[in-house]
Each structure stands twice: as structure tokens, then as C-alpha cells.
Structure 1
């Protein structure tokens, strides 16, 4: 990448293919200048009392709530996420900022028990310059988590949103940045080349990324060379296990929600289903009925390029022996629509079962026992999340202990207590991506011994 102005980002709406607009792509000099400005601004921001940093974040959250409708409209236009759902994401982002506004000032260190004539303690300090590389599928809520935790702990932040939603990222950054000193929160637009420049910059202290596994691995390589901390939530291939004895209608509701909500474009979406043969026939029939309902009010995928990827998984599965029961065809007309799809006769060897599809596809594999379903669910290079539907406490205990993932959900595909966190494993990433523990990720600990002079 050179300092010559790169080609702009042209964004077309997945709703109808119309041009949303274009934004400039940051150059190498833009990246270097942003990092330098952040480094200079961070020292003063770190000296601001934590309570005042929290107050700034609270004011930013209030401004975000005031502009929720406007920002949700931009999200819908760029990503195809329906307005009501997009607005929920904006408000979730504001709530996350408010959460960190409260948690930041009470983020504690520890005192140590040393000699009587000395004081020993451990104190958290900001890491410095944080780069936040955020995705398009929930662009406001996810960004607010990383930005909020980094800012309230005294870091300066450079935010690069996905090239699929740069207008969303730009507007979010403008709304938030006005509540912080110059240089503390900056935004850059561009594609993966800009993200690579940021990740490789030797003056960056943390690279926080939510997105694909391939990009995450590139970031790990870059930070290994610079010494920066990599905080990654990458792809997942989350299984759903349906045990014998469960209500197949209820199980189908859970499976459809997990596989089809937001057109399957969620990090913790249901990607592969293992159902006990005792309930398989009734479950699959009910799941097909739910898929047809979802298709009455379709949501597009983020763009036609992504739709091609999703359909390739389906077509390859069919070629390998899977049966399409609902959907499975690219619709005619404008936009990037793809129907909720149910695939039967799937095997664990199929790519649709081995890799993250990230679309509204529910591949079903019928198994003879809970033990086999659990064993197959455990076979994957990812380690993000998993769901088990069962009426057996013994099976629930067996499952949550066996599944090699950061989050296990029993009898609900989504949900959890407030303040929860998640720590992905293996190809799905490293570090806590949200929750109170994210404050620990954004800080480093200094141990101090205060002794008396001799």
C-alpha cells in the first residue's frame, strides 16, 4: 500500500443493489498519522480521573441514544439488517457504553502483604493505543463494547469498521468522538489492507478484532512481530445437539431462531445440528415449517459476494448427498436475498458441517445416540459456543463439561445473565471480548514495592 490515495469504498445496499455512497480509503500516511496522534493524546487521557472518563462515556451513550433512529437507518441501508433489529443493536451499544462507564471507575488493583515497613500493591494501567477492527453483522453493539472498555481504562482508540459498513462506522465514531479529547478516539475507513497496516504498526499496543478466522490469524502473526496484544473473537462453527425426549416443536423453534435470525449472520449462530433419531422426523418437519415462515419476510445477506459463499456451501452439500427440504436456491431480483434453508441427510464430512457458513442454513445430521451427537459436536477446530437441548440433567452436565468451547448454552440458543463474558478457544480466538473481564484485557498490571530509604 502506498501513500497515493487508494480507490474509494463503493457501498451498495443489499436491499436492492442501489449505491449507498462511497468513502475514501485510508492511506499508509493516514494510518501512521492516526497512530501518532493517538499516542500523543493517550498520555493526557490516562491522567484523567477514572470517574471523569466514565462520565464522558456516559455522555457518549446518551448521544448515541438520541441518534438511534438515524444510525439504525444507516445500518439497515448498508447491511440489510431490518430497522427494528438494527435499532436494538444501537441501543444495546449504548447500554454497553453505560455499563463500562460504571465499571471503569471501580476497576481495582490489589494490595499485597509484604513487610511491615513497606507497601506493596498491583495497579491496572492502560495499555496505550488500541486498534479496534469491528465487523458488519452487529456493527454498533460490538464496536461499543471494544471502544467503551478501551476508552474508560485510559487508552486511545483507532476504530476501523468493516469495509461493508463504513458509513455506519463513520457516523458512530462522529457521535462518540465529540465527547472525548482530540485524538483519543479516531476512525479510519478502508479494507483489509488498512487493517493490516494498523495491526503491523509498531506503536500500537492492542489489536482487538471481531471477524473471520483467517484475518485473526494474520493479526496474530503481525502482533507477534510487534509485541502488541491480540484480542480476537474469530469465526465459529457452533453445534446444536437435540436429545431424545425433548419436544420437537420447541426444539425446532430454538433451531430456527439460532440458524435464521439476522439471516444466520451471527458469530454464535447455529451452524450444524445433530438430532437424536428418536425425535428426528418430527423435529425436521417442524424445522421446515419454521423455515417457510422465515421466508415469508426475508432478510438479505450483507452482499451478493457473501451470498455466493453461502450458496456454494449448500450446492456442495447437495452434490455430496444432502437433500434440500426448504430453500437452497438463489432468488431472482435485486438485492442479496437468500432463503432460510434446511438440509437433510448431512454428514460430518460435508463442508457445510465442517466450516462456518454464516448464512440462514440449517444442516441436519441424524445420530443414534446422545453420546454420538456430543462426540461429533466436539470435533471442530473452532471453540466459540454450543447449544444442547435436553431434558436430562445428566446429559446437560456431561455436555457442558465435554464441549471444548467458550460458551455452552443448555435449553436456549441465546441468552445469559447480565455481565457475562466469553473466552473463545482455538481457531475462534483468544481473550475476553466483552463483560467486566474486557477491562482486564485493555489494561496491564504494574506491581509496586514502596520501601523505606536506608
Structure 2
């Protein structure tokens, strides 16, 4: 059992006045971690400590801040197995996937450690006797609120970018992975001055209360509902909101692609991390000419993939994060079936312990079904057959979300149309995952606002200041 503590200022504190909450293993229901529920006084103290540490940390050189991140990255890499064990126990991801997420987080910390000292301003062409420049300064106190589905990689990105630009941080990890967040912050905080990084724990109400405090920026990755609540709080306090919310990412299968290869791509996109990814494939539009072969291959791929406990090295996919989330996923499947969808595989809640849910393929889906309209966040592949590429693009673009989209096509003309016309932040052609390091995009609509990745994240964490300097007037001025 992990006994999580909060870090407020420089003090580790075991419990708040609201007591503690418990997380159980989604594979078998056994207790995994116990964490404090922060109260208002905890949040006030954490923000106060961050505010007090802000001037000193902002005045430190970018090289000093970068060196601290490099040391922390080394420590996290050395502790990867221990952190992966906690993550797998708390949210179910197989150990290999948990380790991969931790390595991604380490790489991101190192990326921002390298980019931070290069994040300079620029000079402007003004009058010959004057100096004009634009410089970047830290925003101040940043509240970082992160999700459970990839807790280390996401947290390292936001924490790394905030810290290397000279901000102080109050971090609240998801209540579903508090021990993972605690282990991560322990390793980071060892290399930072007191008060620069604090950790508070608790549920969504704690996150909402933190977002309403007098902080300067709230960086959040999570659900659209939570993101909208945070945006409303920031409108009241004047803080900047940096949000990556939910998504309902489409996959388009064109008429000219190999349906078996397309099914493999769809399986990767829909089922990776048991469908619990912001950029998971949530709805599939397949051309009628390849639909039957695509569906047969996708069902076959489902039956080949092994679902089991995350600690079992044979498991490709683990359980859902908890039974409450499983109820949400199954409710969408049940509603789709009631409205006419056909279950080609899966679709039933299994007996036994844990929060397992089978890989599920639904055919005969319609645009107004929740599985096609909302974020399911589970191992569900809902399929709608279309008669043309135009129809697929049109239907794919009707979502209230705008995070990402994938198009599988053999036509360069259709690929070009996809990235030009789809109203999303990221378009991937012929690969559901992948891309060069440093890519950054703006999510659209209900999916959020602001850059969440890449060098541009450093811009989000800072404020630009224009400076104009002239010599003073009067006689005999030395300048």
C-alpha cells in the first residue's frame, strides 16, 4: 500500500482535515494507495508557498533551471520500474506500456531542459539611438492538473515547461493515480528550491478549488466538463487557462487501401491503453467497397489481442481504470445497441474481479449515437459505412470536438483535402500514431485551447513584454 503525502512548501504532510481516500487495483480490486484529500487551507498554503518562492526562482538563470530538470530526469529514469509498478497497480496499464510512458516523460523533461535556455526574446528595429526588444518572463504561479491515463508523460510535459521558464507550480495529479504523482513529485522536488513545487491530492472538487485560487495560469489535461469549469474559474480570477480537453477522434478508411492493414491501424488506434487515450480512435468511417473485409479483419484482430492484468507480461491490454468508468463505457455500448447497432464482438461485462471490458466492435452505427458523438474512452470501435470520401470527411467534421483525426488513403489529393478541411488540431495520414518530436497544435472547439506540446508550450508558460529604452535628455548626459 502506497501512503501518499502532500508536499506544501518544503514540508511533506501525511493527511488533511478531510481524511484520506483509497485507490484499488482495477485488475483485482485489492487496495493500492491511500492519499490525503486536500482542504482549502492546504491549497492556500501551497499557493502561498509558490508565491513566496516565485521571485527567487524567476531570478535564477535558465541554465540553473535546466540543470535541475536534467537531474530530475535522471532520477526518474533510474526509478522507472518503481513508478511503473505504481502506475500499473493504480490504473491497470501493462507494465511495458507504463514504462514507455515514463520514458516519454523523461525525454520530455530533457527536451524542455534543452529548450528552456534557448527561449529568448527578440530585438526590434527602432530608432538608431534607442533599444527595442521583446522579452519573455514567467507568469508566476502555475496550477498543473493532470489525468490518470498517461500520468507521467503528461505531467512531465506541463511541469517541465512551467519550471524551466521560471514559474513555481502547485500540482494536483488525478485522484485515480495519486501514488504515481507522489513518486514523480518526490523525485522532481529533490532538485528544486523549497516552495517551487508543491503537491496536493484529491478529487475533482479539489482540482476545481485549486483552479479558483489566485494563481496565474491553470494547465489542465482531462475531460471537457472539467476543462470548461476551469475556464469559467479563470475568467473570474484573471488566470490564463491552458486546456487539453476530451476528444472524439475520427478514422477515415478510403476505398483504395488494404482493408486488413486498415483494420490493424484501427485496432491500434481504438484499443491502445484499452481505449483510454485522448487521441484514441473513437469513431470509424469506412468506404462501403472495403467495409466487409475491414470489419472481418478488425473482429479477427480483436480476438487475437490479449487482455489481462497489467502485471502479466503476456497482457497486451489491461482493465479499464475502475468499475465506475466501465459503467460509463458499457452504457454507451448498450445505448448504441438499443438504437440499432450490431455487436460484432465484445459488448458484455465479464464476470469476475476487476474492471475488465472486452474489445468491442459495433457495426451499423449512426451519427446521433453517443458512441459516435461523445468521448467513450474505452476499447470500443464504432463503425459507420459511407458511400464516398466526401461523405466521410463531412461526417468526420461534424463533431463538437476537435483534437485529432486520422485518414487512411492511397490518394495524395485526398490526403491534402483531409489536413486542409478537417477542423481538428492534428491530422495524421496513414498512421494512427507517430510524428516528429516537437509537434504542437491548437485543439479546437470542446477539445481545449492553447499549445500543449512542443516548443510553443514555453510561450504559453510565459508572458511577452515589450521594452523601449532611450537615452535621457538634457546636457552632458553620459549613456
Classify the TM-score, shorter chain: over 0.9
Instruction: Work out whether 1:447 is the aligned partner of 2:443.
Output: no
Q: For 1:266 and 1:313, how far apart are their aligned partners in 2?
A: 17
Report the counterpart of residue 12 of structure 2 in structure 1: none
Contact 2:402 2:423 (C-alpha < 8 Å) held by counterparts: yes
The 5-angstrom pairing of residues 380-395 of structure 1 reads 380-395=399-414
Secondary structure (helix, strand or coil) at the match of 1:416 reads coil
Report the counterpart of residue 249 of structure 2 in structure 1: 238
Report the counterpart of residue 171 of structure 1 in structure 2: 183
2:289 is aligned, of 265, 275, 278, to 278
Contact 1:260 1:294 (C-alpha < 8 Å) held by counterparts: no
Q: For 1:331 and 1:295, how far apart are their aligned partners in 2?
A: 15
Structure 1 stretches lacking a partner, 5+ long: none
What whole-Å deviation, never above 9, does each CA across 1:133-185 have from its counterpart, x for those lacking one?
Answer: 00000000000000000000000011100000011111111011100000001
Structure 2 stretches lacking a partner, 5+ long: 1-14, 308-314, 474-479
Contact 2:33 2:178 (C-alpha < 8 Å) held by counterparts: no
Secondary structure (helix, strand or coil) at the match of 2:375 reads coil
Instruction: Work out whether 1:325 is the aligned partner of 2:361.
Output: no
Report the counterpart of residue 221 of structure 2 in structure 1: 210
What whole-Å deviation, never above 9, does each CA across 1:81-127 have from its counterpart, x for those lacking one?
Answer: 11111011111111100000000000021101111111000000000
Report the counterpart of residue 156 of structure 2 in structure 1: 144
What whole-Å deviation, never above 9, does each CA across 1:29-72 have from its counterpart, x for those lacking one?
Answer: 00000000000001100111111110110000000001000000
Contact 1:136 1:165 (C-alpha < 8 Å) held by counterparts: yes
What whole-Å deviation, never above 9, does each CA across 1:186-218 have from its counterpart, x for those lacking one?
Answer: 11101111111111112x000000000000000
The 5-angstrom pairing of residues 20-419 of structure 1 reads 20-202=32-214, 204-295=215-306, 297=315, 298-419=317-438
What whole-Å deviation, never above 9, does each CA across 1:307-341 have from its counterpart, x for those lacking one?
Answer: 00000000000000000001000001001000110
Contact 1:61 1:98 (C-alpha < 8 Å) held by counterparts: yes
Q: For 1:370 and 1:21, how far apart are their aligned partners in 2?
A: 49
Q: For 2:46 and 2:198, how far apart are their aligned partners in 1?
A: 7
Provide TM-score, normalisation by structure 1.
0.98
Give the alignment's Cα RMSD to 1 decimal.
Answer: 1.0
Provide TM-score, normalisation by structure 2.
0.93
Superposed displacement of residue 377, structure 1: 0.2
Q: For 1:42 and 1:57, how far apart are their aligned partners in 2?
A: 17
Instruction: Work out whether 1:426 is the aligned partner of 2:438.
Output: no
The 5-angstrom pairing of residues 6-25 of structure 1 reads 6-25=18-37
Q: For 2:283 and 2:416, how far apart are their aligned partners in 1?
A: 21
Q: For 1:114 and 1:447, how far apart are their aligned partners in 2?
A: 12
Q: For 1:79 and 1:66, how far apart are their aligned partners in 2?
A: 22
